[in-house]
Amino acid sequence: MTANEDRDYNLVEGAFQDLLNSIEYKTEEADNQLITRAFQLAKDAHKGVHRKSGEPYITHPIAVAQIVATEIGLGPSSIATALMHDVVEDSDYTLEDIENMFNPNIARLIDGLTKISGVVSMESSMQLENYRKMLLTISDDVRVILIKLADRLHNMRTMQGMPAHKQLKIASETLFIYAPLAHRLGLFRIKTELEDISLKYTEPEMFEDLSNKMEELVNRDFEYLNKFTRTISGELKKAGLKFEVKKRTKSIFSIRRKMRNQQVTFDEVYDKYAIRIILDSKLANEKSDCWKAYSVVTENYSPNPNRLRDWISSPKSNGYESLHSTVMGPEGHWVEVQIRTKRMDDIAENGFAAHWKYKEDSSGSNQLDSWLRRIREFLDNPDNDSEDFIDSFKMNLFSSEIFVFTPRGEMVTLPKGATALDFAFDVHSEVGAHCLGTKVNGKLVPLSSPLKSGDQIEVLTSMKQEPKEDWLSFVKTGKAKQRIRQSLKKEKQLITGQGQMTLERKLKVLKLKSTHSNIQKLVNYFGLKNPDELFYKVGLGVIDNKKLREYARETAGLVNYFKRRIVKSSYAKQKPLSNEAKKDLMLVFGTDEHEMEYTLAKCCNPIPGDRVFGFVTTAEGLKVHRDDCPNAVLLQSRFANRTLKAKWIDKKGTFATINLLIEGMDRMGLVNDVTKVISSELSLNIKAISFAVDDGLFTGQVTIEVADKVALTDTITNIKQLEGISTVSRVGKFD
Ligand code: MN
C-alpha cells in the first residue's frame, strides 16, 4: 500500500466504524451485518473512484448513511440503502444484483433513488404536483425522499471545490426543490442548513456580511439576553417547572428572505433571535405546562398580543408544535420567546423520525410508520395545503423569472409577466403560431393572461389559426415577438402578391387598365398609403368587387369622384360658417399644429372651415389647397412628401374633450381601422387612445378633443360602420 492508499484506507474504515458506533445503541447483530455487507458492496462498486476533493468516493455514501442514521433517525434498511445509493447509477451492479444479495425492499429503495436523481434537475423538473406524485410512484416509500435529502445535504456540505457554475446550479436546485421538501417533512434543522449553504453560494458577499452582523449582534446583546434568561429562569423555577433555556438565532437565509420580501434592512428585521424554553414535561401535562410557562413569562414582561402564535392547540401540517410570543424585555427591547416541550423541540428540529430514534420499543416504530404514512398521505393529496406548498417554492432567487409547466409536467422558465401565448411560443414556434386558446390550471383564459409560477398550461391549437397583429401588443418574450412579426410579414407579402393579381384581373373585368396611375388613383380613393396596402386589402377581401365597382362607376369621370368626396365631407353638411366664426379660425400645419406662413391656392380658393392641406412649392412657399381641389389627387399622390396636414382651429382654443368607449368583436386589422377613422378626422385631436382584446372581445378607450359637433358625429358614425364594432358611446370618464 502506498502512503496515500494507507491514508484512504484509514479514512474510510474509520468513518464506517464511526457510523456503526453511533447507531450501536439501537442495532442488533443482524442489522450490523446488513449494514456491513452494504458497505462492502459499495466499497467494491466505487473502488478506485475519487471525489473532486480527492477523498475516496465511498466516503460520500458513508457520510450520507451517517446523516440518515443520526440526523434523520432512520433504521438499518435505510442506512444500508444510503450506503449503496449510488451503486446502481455509478457501477456495473444492477438492481437484480442488489435484490439477490439483499432483499427486494432495499432494491426498491435504491431503484427509487436512482430514478429520482434523473428526474430532479432544474432542466427537467416536473410540475410540483406531478413531482410529488412522481416521488410517490417511484418510491411508494418516504424513506427514499429522506435518503435523497441526506444525499443532497452531504453534497451541499462538500461542494467547496466545485466549479462556480455548478455550485450555483446545485444551490439553486436545493432552494427550489430540496429545502422546501425538508421543510414540508418537518426536518427543520436540515432545511435551515440547506438554505444557509445555498445562500453562501448564490450570494456569497451577502452571506458573509449577514453572518458577521449576526455575530456582532449576538455578542452585543449577550449580556442583555443573559439577564433576561436569568430572570425568566428564576420565575419558572419558582413555578415548579423543569426546563432548559436556549438562545436561538434566526438563520442567515431567513433574515435575507425577510430583508428582501419586506424591503427592510438588517436592523429592521425583528426577532433575529429568540429565547427558547424547552420544558421537561410528561406527555399528559405538555399543554398545561406550556401555558403555565407562558403565563410566567407574560407576568414579568408584557406580551405583544399580535404576535402570539399557538401551534400547540393546532400543530402545523408538518407536525410543528410550539407556542411563540413576543414580549417587551428590559430596557424596551422586544424579545421572542418560544415555549415547547422536549418532544416538541425534537420533532421541530429533526422531524418525527429523529424523535423515535430513542425509542426501541414497538410503539416507537409504529409511530414512525404512522408518521411516514401521514407524510405520504399529505404528498398524495393535491388539495392539502397545496398553496402553502407551492408558495415555499417561489424562491426570491427567481424573482425575475417564473416557472410554469406543460401538461406533462415539464418545466418551462419564462420572464416575469410572460403570457400564456409566450408559453405557447416557447414550447414550439408552430404551437405558438397556431395557438387558438390556452387553459391555465384547467381553466380557459385569454392568450394575453400573465402567468404565475406553478401554473400548468395547456395550449389549444388549430392549423387554421395564424398569428394576429394584436398579439404583438401583449407578448413579452423576444422569441414570440420575432416569430409573430415574421409570420405577419410573410403572410402580408403572400396576401399582397395574391391581391395584386386579383386586382389586375378584376380591373380587366371592369374595363380599367392596371397602369401605375390608375393604381395610384385607387390608392387615393380608398385613402391608403401605397399600392402595396391596396393589394393587401384586395387580397384580404376588405376591398371587394362591390367596392371596386363603386369606384369604377364613380371614376367614370373624375368629376363624379370629387362630387362624392364633397358629399361625404363633414364640412359639406355643415352650414357655412358665419363671418364672425371665420374670424376666430386660424390655420395650423403638421401633426404638431404649427402656425406657418402660407398663401391660399387660387385654383380652389379655400375659406376658413374648409378641409384643406398644405403643399410646399419651390417658388411660392406653402400653399393651401382644399382637399377637394381638382389638383389635390395629383399633388397628394405625386408629391406626398411635400404635402402637409393642415387644420383650422379655433383661436380661442375651445376644444371639447370627449371620451369614446368602443366595443365589438375583434378581428384582424380592427385596431388599425379604428385608428385610421379617428386620425383621418382633421378636426380631432387624439389625447389618449388604448385598446384591449380579451377573449375576442374588443374594447377601445379613446380620448379626443373635438372642435365641432359635426366632426364628432361623423367620427362616431364612421367607427360604427366598421365591421365588428357593436357600440360606440360617449362616456364621462373611463374607469
Ligand atoms: Mn450521492
Ligand 1 centre to CA of 86 (Å) is: 6
Measured between alpha carbons, how far is residue 661 from residues 115, 482, 715 in Å?
A: 58, 32, 13
Centroid of ligand 1 to alpha carbon of 352 (angstroms):
24
> Can you give the length of the chain in residues?
735
225 and 93 in a single domain? The answer is: no
Return the DSSP state at 577: P
pLDDT at 341: 94
Instruction: For residue 51, report the distance from its CA to the centre of ligand 1, in Å.
Output: 11
- Strand boundaries in 182-333, DSSP class E: 243-249, 273-279, 309-310, 323-328
**Percent of the residues in the chain that have a pLDDT greater than 70, as a whole number:** 81
Quick check: pTM over 0.85? Answer: no
Give the span between the Cα atoms of 234 and 231, in whole angstroms: 5
CB 340 within 8 A of CB 322: yes
Distance 660 CA to ligand 1 centre (A): 66
Examine the fold and report which residue of 331, 361, 391 is the final residue of a domain before the chain moves on: 361
pLDDT at res. 454: 66
Distance 181 CA to ligand 1 centre (A): 17
Position 323 scores a pLDDT of: 92
Residue 275's DSSP bridge partners are: 247, 337
**Alpha carbon of 267 to ligand 1 centroid (Å):** 39
Beta strand 656-665 with 334-341 is unpaired
Q: What is the four-CA torsion angle of 626, 630, 631, 632, rounded to 10 degrees?
A: 50
Count other C-beta atoms under 10 Å from residue 619's C-beta: 5
Residue 289 cell numbers, joined: 405546562
- What three-state secondary structure class fits 145? helix
Q: Is 561 a member of any domain?
A: yes
Is 237 among the domain residues?
Answer: yes
Residue that finishes a domain, picked among 158, 191, 219? 158
Q: Do 537 and 660 reside in the same domain of the chain?
A: no
Least Cα distance to 338 among 241, 229, 257, 258 occurs for 229
Query: Which alpha helices (H) appear in 46-94, and where do they start and end?
Result: 59-66, 76-83, 87-90
Tens digit of each residue's pLDDT (9 = 90 or more) over 401-444: 676 777 776 667 787 789 999 999 988 888 898 888 888 877 88
CA distance 398 to 201: 15
Q: Is the residue at 449 inside a domain?
A: no
Asked whether residue 555 falls in the same domain as residue 695, the answer is: no
Q: What is the pLDDT of residue 289?
A: 92
Cα(192) to centroid(ligand 1), Å: 20
User: Of 337, 336, 358, whose CA–CA distance to 347 is shortest?
Assistant: 358
CA 591–ligand 1 middle distance (angstroms): 70
Catalytic residue among 31, 89, 385, 663: 89
Give the three cell numbers for residue 734.
373611463
Assess whether 597 and 690 both reside in one domain.
Answer: no
Q: Is 431 helix (H, G, I), strand (E, B) or coil?
A: helix
289 C-alpha to ligand 1 centroid (Å): 43
Q: Same domain for 139 and 267?
A: no
Percent of the chain that is helix, strand, coil (3-state, to 5): 55, 15, 30
* Residues of the chain under the 50 pLDDT cut: 121-127, 129, 137-139, 356-365, 382-399, 557-575
- CATH number for the domain that contains residue 702: 3.30.70.260
Q: What is the pLDDT of residue 125?
A: 43
512 and 599 share one domain: no
Distance 631 CA to ligand 1 centre (A): 86
Considering the domain boundaries, does residue 146 fall inside one? yes
Give φ, ψ of 384 to 5 degrees: -70, 100
Domain boundary, last residue among 625, 651, 677: 651
Contacting residues for 222 by C-beta, under 8 A, at least 6 apart: none
Residues 6+ positions from 466 with CB-CB distance below 8 Å:
433, 434, 487, 491
108 lies in some domain: yes
Is 89 a catalytic site residue?
yes
CA of 83 to the centre of ligand 1 (A): 9
Cell of 333: 427591547
- Same domain? 36 vs 67: yes
Both 622 and 541 in a single domain? no
In a domain, 58, yes or no: yes
Q: What pLDDT shows up at residue 392? A: 33
Q: Which three cell numbers stand for residue 542?
A: 376588405
> 607 alpha carbon to ligand 1 midpoint, in Å?
89
Residues contacting 561, CB < 8 A, separation 6+: 525, 554, 555
The Å distance, Cα 314 to ligand 1 centre, comes to 37
- 30 with 127, same domain? yes
Q: Residues 688, 690, 693, CA angle at the centre, nearest 5°? A: 170
Determine which one of 5, 55, 86, 90 is catalytic: 90
Write down the pLDDT at residue 350: 72
Is the domain of 154 the same as that of 28?
yes
389, 184 in Cβ contact below 8 A? Answer: yes
Task: Please tell me the distance between residue 16's alpha carbon and the centre of ligand 1 in angstroms.
Answer: 16
Between CA 298 and CA 304, with CA 301 as vertex, the angle to 5 degrees is: 75
CA of 114 to the centre of ligand 1 (A): 10
Distance 8 CA to ligand 1 centre (A): 19
Contact 326, 336 (CB under 8 A): yes
Report the separation in Å between the CA atom of 58 and the middle of ligand 1, taken as the mean of its atom positions: 10
Range of the domain at 646: 584-651
Average pLDDT, the chain: 79
Residue linked to cell 372651415 = 609
Residue 208 burial (CB count, 10 A): 12
What is the total count of domains within the chain?
5
β-strand pairing of 585-589 with 457-461:
unpaired
- State the CATH number of the domain containing residue 317: 3.30.460.10
C-alpha 85 – ligand 1 centre gap (Å): 6
The answer to whether residues 561 and 506 belong to one domain is yes
Ligand 1 centre from 318 Cα, in Å?
26
CA 538 to ligand 1 center in whole angstroms: 67
Start-to-end CA span in the chain (Å) = 84
Return all residues near 469 (Cβ < 8 A) that are at least 6 apart: 488, 668, 669, 671, 672
Can you tell me the distance from the alpha carbon of 34 to that of 79, in angstroms, rounded to the nearest whole number? Answer: 9
Ion ligand 1 contact residues with beta carbon within 5 A: 86, 151
Cα of 190 to ligand 1 centre, how many Å? Answer: 16
Q: What is the pLDDT of residue 193?
A: 95
Q: Which residues contact 492 (CB under 8 A, 6 or more apart)?
A: 536
Q: What's the CA-to-centroid distance between 150 and ligand 1, angstroms?
A: 9
User: Tell me, what CATH number does 119's domain have?
Assistant: 1.10.3210.10
Task: Please say whether the beta carbons of 433 and 489 come within 8 A.
Answer: no
Q: How far apart are CA 216 and CA 222, in angstroms?
A: 10
Q: What is the pLDDT of residue 592?
A: 62
Whether residue 11 is contained in a domain is answered as yes
Pair (591, 671) in one structural domain: no
Task: Using alpha carbons only, give the angle 35, 39, 44 rounded to the nearest 5 degrees.
Answer: 155
Q: Does residue 57 fall inside a structural domain?
A: yes
pLDDT of res. 420 = 92
